[in-house]
Amino acid sequence: MAKVVVLGAGIAGHTAAAHLRRKLSKDHEVVVVSPNSNYQWVPSNIWVGIGKMTSKQIIFPLEPLYKRKGIKFKQAKVVDFFPEGSSDLDKAHVSVEYVAGEKKGTKELVDYDYLINATGPKLAFDLTPGLNPGKNNTYSVCTYGHATEAWEGLEKLIQKAKTSNEKQKILIGTGHPKATCQGAAFEYILNVEKLLSDLKVRDKFDVKWISNEYELGDFGMDGLLLKYGSKNIPSSEMVEMLFRDRNIDWITEAGVTEVEDGKVHYETLDGQKHTEEFDFAMLIPAFSGHGFKAYDKANNDITDKLFKGFMIVDADYTPKPHEEWTVQDWPETYQNPSFSNIFAPGIAFAPPHSISKPRKSESGLEIFPSPPRTGMPSGITAKLVADNIIDIINKGTHELHHKGSLGNMGAACIASAGYGAFTGSGVSITTYPIVPDFKKYPDSHGRKLGKTFGEVGLAGHWLKLFLHYAFLYKAKMKPFWWIIPE
């Protein structure tokens, strides 16, 4: 009998647990440890942030589902890793602390045969002084709670604007020089703009984009050359076209260094320092590792064997200049090289480097997006990790046959550009591969044209809505859920 412990119940953790449970016999144990009692479909947070959905529509409680399916659930946070065991317990284990219920505050050692670390990122608001959701007129849409709060703030501002002659300033984008997840901010700004237009108050607002991207449409993926209709255009042109059409102004190359009440301080690549005022801001924070510690059997600190901020996996972490980066640097199996029974899919693995070209301001401040690894790649990497563990348990194989490098994986980003059954729109973008392969596709910015394309229109909105219901159906493990691809 094998015991697989999954840390985290987000897109990666929940996907891994669901596949493990479906394919492993009941003789084997699947345990999920997560501080969150709910599963949330994160891509729909932006609709909660404009009041078009409630948080209840994008979440469901995990415990009843796991009970029905035979997955053990512990609502707890992981504290330390003991991959060799410890003086308290011989077997490899993690120490966890319960965060709710009768056991709240109680610590427990959870042993495992296989460990999947899918703890995602820490939302590192603390890395930008003054950036704190709900404070200083700044908000976030990173969680359903934050998105609910953002809608409350936005709704108040809309009411204020209706009775005021002064223009209100909305600022949306990234809140740290190395923040990622520009896509979520991009969706949110377009949805906010559409909402203001629908409410016929658009003329009372200045809507501005602020980002650490070198140019619009970088999205932390070094931009894309994509097929748009009959043309091949850079993603920067497509985003610029949309922003001009919506009368959205933009600031790029901006590393936000501090937030005050209604003010954001930022530095640009030329080393200049600026201030931008706002009445409402939604700024994506930096993502960081959780600061976990790891110990060997003799209680010596071995954190550097497991973590490099995020978890170390089968990537090539050798420092090298941007010109020498290759797709082979990126991991294939998400297995920790020191402990072969530990894996880290989704956002929990440490990337070898960014995808966008690293840039420093004249004062030495690094201003460029970190690599995005959200949504679809999280699900795909979690499934392949689960499949490898299933093969090891069922077939006794030691070679990992399921591989999925971001350099050999396609992804779709269906970005909402406004909500409405017949007035909404979406920007549908697919990319292949996610990490550009400049050797394979030297003439199309490292990606395969045709498989890398963009389209704007009402169909994109329907598609995003369809995916919302389809992926919640899948996450609830309803009949034939596994047919829906990650």
Partner 1 sequence: MEITKFQRFLMMNPIIQFFRFIFLSLKIMIVVAGGHGGTRK
Which residues contact partner 1 by CB under 8 A? 233, 237-238, 240-242, 244-245, 327-328, 330, 332, 376, 380, 384, 403-405, 407-412, 414, 422-423, 425, 428, 430, 432, 437, 451, 453, 455-460, 462-463, 466, 485-486
Comparing CB distances to partner 1, the nearer of 201 and 233 is 233
Closer to partner 1 by Cβ: residue 99 or 463: 463
Quick one: 212 or 428, whose CB is closer to partner 1?
428
Give me the least distance between CB of 326 and partner 1, in Å please.
Answer: 8
Identify which of residues 241 and 251 has a Cβ nearer to partner 1 in the complex: 241
Closer to partner 1 by CB, 12 or 150: give it: 12
Separation of alpha carbons 324 and 343, rounded Å: 27
Least distance in Å: CB of 327 to partner 1?
A: 5
CB of 332 to partner 1, least distance (A): 4
What is the DSSP code (8-state) at residue 370? Answer: P
> Nearer to partner 1 by C-beta: 27 or 399?
399
Alpha helices, H only, 138-280: 144-162, 182-198, 235-245
Q: Which of 172, 364, 171, 174 is nearest to 269 (CA)?
A: 364
CB of 412 to partner 1, least distance (A): 5
Assess contact for 287 and 122: CB atoms under 8 A: yes
Taking alpha carbons only, the member of 265, 232, 262 closest to residue 251 is: 265
Check residue 3 and report its DSSP letter.
E
Q: What angle do CA 183, 184, 185 make, to 5 degrees?
A: 90
Q: How far is the CB of 217 from partner 1 (least distance, A)?
A: 12
Collapse the DSSP code of 23 into the 3-class scheme (helix H, G, I; strand E, B; otherwise coil) and give the result. helix
Least separation in angstroms between residue 139's CB and partner 1 is 29
For 417-448, give one letter per residue: b (16+ CB within 10 A) or e: bbbeeeebbbbbbbbbbbbbbbeebeebbbbb
Q: Which is nearer to partner 1, 16 or 32 (CB)?
A: 16
CB of 411 to partner 1, least distance (A): 7
Q: Are 355 and 377 in contact (CB under 8 A)?
A: no
**Tokens found for residue 63:** 């415990």
**Least spacing, CB of residue 266 vs partner 1, in Å:** 28
For the bound state, the minimum distance from the C-beta of residue 47 to partner 1, rounded and expressed in Å, comes to 18
* CB closer to partner 1, 56 vs 439: 439
Distance between CA 205 and CA 170 in Å, rounded?
7
Helix axes 11-23, 376-395, angle to 10 degrees: 30
User: What's the start-to-end Cα distance of the chain, in Å?
Assistant: 28
d(CA 206, CA 193): 10
- Residue 138 beta carbon to partner 1: minimum distance, rounded to whole angstroms: 31
Q: Which one, 156 or 439, has the nearer CB to partner 1?
A: 439
Closer residue to partner 1 (CB): 149 or 237: 237
Token duo for residue 309: 């901020």
* Non-local CB neighbours of 291 within 8 Å, separated by 6+ positions: 122
Residue 203: CB partners within 8 Å, gap ≥ 6?
Answer: none
- What residue type is assigned to position 130 of the chain? G
